[in-house]
Chain A
Amino acid sequence: GESVGLHLPTLSVQEGDNSIINCAYSNSASDYFIWYKQESGKGPQFIIDIRSNMDKRQGQRVTVLLNKTVKHLSLQIAATQPGDSAVYFCAESSSGGFGNEKLTFGTGTRLTIIP
């Protein structure tokens, strides 16, 4: 069945360093991917998305890389700040990003920024 998994459940990064969070997916029909940040007690917050016709997309301090060959995507956060501490989820869909998505989430990676 469909599944989205993460390589590491926890990640600790020194403040100011760059962090990379990885995610593997198994559904070859997946064509739309989103990264969410979830702080304790809050709902998921959209970070960045990417469609399967792209390999890379950049936002403010964040970059998402997609490797369809090995079904892998990553989230890079530049110059991490204490406010980046949260659980990060990748989510995938096979609906192309048209708004009517049924998202499949992984279990998440907890990112801790060390001051």
Chain B
Amino acid sequence: DAGVTQSPTHLIKTRGQQVTLRCSPKSGHDTVSWYQQALGQGPQFIFQYYEEEERQRGNFPDRFSGHQFPNYSSELNVNALLLGDSALYLCASSRYEGRGNTIYFGEGSWLTVV
């Protein structure tokens, strides 16, 4: 049973460019959340997708957008990259309204903006 998988694992982008990160949730999970973790800090919630819709959003600008596909996989898109967007981007999966279900994280995608 595969856990949460993310790609790519590492990437370098230039300021002003756009990036797309991908996530496949754990088997049986239908909800995907994205978090940003800056170096030395705890993860911060970006947004959450369920049934292909954004359900909750954290305090992130519109440059951050996402998508969920019918197979529950998800993408995180960041436009007009800033140096401050350099971070580890984590995907977490869970089962919506599934009491007792654990939230699992992937290994993350390391984004460096130069």
- Chain A residues near B (Cβ < 8 Å): 4, 34, 36, 42-46, 49, 89, 91, 96-108
Q: Is B1's beta carbon under 8 Å from chain A?
A: no
Knowing A44-B90, A105-B43, A106-B42, the reply to whether A100 touches B96 (Cβ < 8 A) is yes
A49 to B33, CA, bound (A): 18
A4 to B41, CA, bound (A): 12
Q: Is B65's beta carbon under 8 Å from chain A?
A: no
A101 and B42 contacting across the interface, CB-CB below 8 Å = no
Knowing A105-B42, A108-B42, the reply to whether A36 touches B105 (Cβ < 8 A) is yes
A-B contact count (CB 8 A): 72
Knowing A42-B107, A89-B42, the reply to whether A102 touches B58 (Cβ < 8 A) is yes
For residue B55, give the distance in angstroms from its CB to the closest CB of chain A. 7
Known contacts A100-B94, A100-B96, A101-B33, then 14 further A-B pairs from the complex at CB < 8 Å, ordered by chain A residue:
A43-B107, A46-B103, A97-B100, A99-B103, A100-B50, A101-B103, A102-B45, A102-B48, A103-B45, A103-B103, A105-B35, A106-B42, A108-B41, A108-B42
B99 and A99 contacting across the interface, CB-CB below 8 Å = yes
B97 and A99 contacting across the interface, CB-CB below 8 Å = yes
B31 and A44 contacting across the interface, CB-CB below 8 Å = no
Closest to A36 in B: B105
Q: Which B residues from 8 to 47 make CB contacts under 8 A with A?
A: 31, 33, 35, 40-45
Q: Which residues of chain A are near B48, meaning CB under 8 Å?
A: 100, 102
Q: Which residues of chain A are near B56, meaning CB under 8 Å?
A: 100, 102
B108 and A43 contacting across the interface, CB-CB below 8 Å = yes
Knowing A98-B98, A100-B50, A100-B97, the reply to whether A46 touches B31 (Cβ < 8 A) is no
Proximity string of chain B (86-114) to chain A, C-beta cutoff 8 Å, 1 when within and 0 when not: 00001010111111111111111000000
For residue A60, give the distance in angstroms from its CB to the closest CB of chain B. 15
B97 and A43 contacting across the interface, CB-CB below 8 Å = no
Q: Which residues of chain B are near A36, meaning CB under 8 Å?
A: 105
Closest to B99 in A: A98
A35 to B31, CA, bound (A): 20
**Which of these, A49, A89, A102, A104, contacts B102 with CB under 8 Å?**
A49
